[in-house]
Amino acid sequence: MYSDGASMTPPTLQAWGLTKSFGTGEVMTTALQDVNIELFPYQLALLMGPSGSGKSTLLAALSGLLRPDSGQVMALNQDLWAMTDKEREAFRLKNCGFIFQGYNLFPALTARQQLEMVLRWGQGASAREARLRADDILDLLGLTKKADLRPGQLSGGEKQRVAIGRALIKSPTLCFADEPTAALDWKHGEQVIELLRVAAHDNGATILVVGHDARLIPHVDRVLHLDDGVLVETSGKRRVPILNTPKAVVSGV
Ligand SMILES: Nc1ncnc2c1ncn2[C@@H]1O[C@H](COP(=O)(O)OP(=O)(O)OP(=O)(O)O)[C@@H](O)[C@H]1O
Ligand SMILES: [Mg+2]
């Protein structure tokens, strides 16, 4: 219960005083300056800001990929940077989905296999179950005809969609997407942001997506701005009401 009296969901991801610098002396870049942030389930938040403003660095610090110089990240009530590397890796495998600025696909695997392996090896799904879910997601992403192709045979936008499918197929509780729509035309970009919105609104995922395109704004619940490492502006709803009973985020996107 918050002070406004309404029953609200608590944040799933909180960070305080995050700072991160690269280099020393004259070549030092301060990528994050005392960033505080709260992210909520059932919410799709868009992080905007100029190139070099620290967006990817913030995603990396919040998702356990890059240790900040100072500050704290509480993810699902656990202190992310107080964990051992092994604990953090296990936490990320269990709870987090990532869509990177590059695609990070396995060159030798087909589009379908990239998705199937997440369920087969990450969640112990049967071959049949993995195949059905992978085909569902490929269909949603408009990739059914490309299911048997490898990354080298796919266009940039198609690779990006496979990477998105790979992040969403395990229905992550926390999902981080670094410019997932940058390589796509608007038709596919809109489909992708809608998929992320459904993952948040229907499955209760907490999603932070980096993007430049102002056309994304109407599709998201919240807009955050980074400027020179400073989180300068927040618009939209900080907190979301409990819309429905949070369900185990295990099926569908
Ligand atoms: N490994 C690194 N070594 C040195 N400097 C770095 C490193 N990673 C990031 N930086 C610097 O930190 C700043 C923020 O980088 P970051 O990648 O977070 O920006 P961004 O907002 O994601 O930019 P873009 O929109 O171009 O992806 C930049 O000035 C960048 O040069
Ligand atoms: Mg970036």
- Which residue has a Cα nearest atom 24 of ligand 1? 51
Compute, in angstroms, the gap from residue 145 CA to the centroid of ligand 1. Answer: 36
Q: What angle do CA 24, 63, 199 make, to 5 degrees?
A: 145
Contact call for residues 221 and 44 (beta carbons, < 8 A) = yes
77 found inside a domain: yes
CATH of the domain at 30: 3.40.50.300
Joined together, the tokens standing for residue 227 give 């400027």
The pLDDT value given to residue 233? 65
User: Which residue is it, tokens 């608007």?
Assistant: 186
Pick the closest to residue 54 from 26, 18, 24, 23 (CA basis): 18
186 found inside a domain: yes
- Which residue has a Cα nearest atom 18 of ligand 1? 54
Compute, in angstroms, the gap from residue 14 CA to the centroid of ligand 2. Answer: 21
Substitution site in 22, 63, 66, 226 for ligand 1 pocket (most atoms within 8 Å of beta carbon): 22
The pLDDT value given to residue 104? 84
Per-residue pLDDT tens, the chain, 253 aa: give them. Answer: 344 433 468 899 999 999 999 998 888 999 999 999 999 999 999 999 999 999 999 999 999 999 999 999 999 999 999 999 999 999 998 899 998 877 789 999 999 999 999 999 878 899 999 999 999 999 988 899 999 999 999 988 889 889 989 998 988 999 999 999 887 888 888 888 988 998 899 889 999 999 989 999 999 999 999 999 999 766 666 555 444 444 333 333 3
The pLDDT value given to residue 183? 78
- Considering every ligand atom, which ligand is closest to the CA of 51? 1
243 found inside a domain: no
142 found inside a domain: no
Q: Which domain holds residue 180?
A: 13-102+171-236
190 found inside a domain: yes
222-227 vs 230-236, strand pairing mode: antiparallel
Q: Distance between terminal CA atoms of the chain?
A: 29
150 found inside a domain: no
130 found inside a domain: no
Ligand 1 binding site (Cβ under 6 Å of any ligand atom): 22-23, 29, 31, 49, 51-57
147 found inside a domain: no
Number of domains, the chain: 1
Pick the closest to residue 205 from 227, 234, 175 (CA basis): 175
